[in-house]
Amino acid sequence: MRTWLKRSLIGIFGVSLLAGGLAACSHQRHYGYFGDRTTEAERAEKRAHMVDKASRKLDLDAAQKAKLTVLADTLEAQRQSMKASGGEPRAELKAVIAGAQFDRAKAQSLVDAKTTAMRSASPAVINAAADFYDSLKPEQQQKLREALDRFGHHRGWRG
């Protein structure tokens, strides 16, 4: 394949990935949980509600509920870490396309910052998820798998 064609395809893929990621990050207010305008207290209240609802549906005991709370808090910490690794997504995208040429270096640094933040927080998230899942009884694990399957299909996800 010709070099210019390879570069063009890689550039288009990179721009699509960056724009899609930034658009996804900036549009989450629609779901009423992760939007930039929610306060820490609102997010904590929503997390507590989700933990309580999951606890009821899965019939969790106190130890299992505590592990689910740790998982929810760990996910929130990762979200904060991802958010701290960059500024406002729309402003970042505007900075990338502000000049006559697409700022490839700036785009790459944005992707690198998000990747580094995610990579550094991943072990804690994986451990918290594993601790919670491993604490479940087999019938609770099955309920969780069924709930995840229903959740994905109702939201239009095909995982």
Give 31-41 pLDDT, tens digit per residue. Answer: 444 445 678 88
Residue 34's closest CA among 53, 47, 17? 47
Half-sphere exposure of 69 (CA within 13 A, CB side): 12
What b/e string do you get for 129-148 counting C-beta neighbours within 10 Å, with b at 16 or more? Answer: bebbeebbeeebeebbeeee
pLDDT at residue 32, rounded to an integer: 46
pLDDT digits (tens, 9 = 90+) for 54-111: 888 889 999 999 999 999 898 888 888 777 766 677 788 888 888 888 989 988 888 8
Number of Cβ within 10 Å of residue 22's Cβ equals 22
Half-sphere exposure of 139 (CA within 13 A, CB side): 4
Burial class (CB in 10 A: 0-12, 13-18, 19+), 89: buried
What is the pTM for the complete model shown? Answer: 0.65
Q: Per-residue pLDDT for 139 more than 90? A: yes
Distance CA(50)–CA(135), nearest Å, equals 18
**CA angle, residues 146, 152, 154, in degrees to nearest 5:** 100
Burial class (CB in 10 A: 0-12, 13-18, 19+), 64: buried
Q: What is the largest CA-CA distance in the chain?
A: 61
Q: Tokens 């995610």 belong to which residue?
A: 118
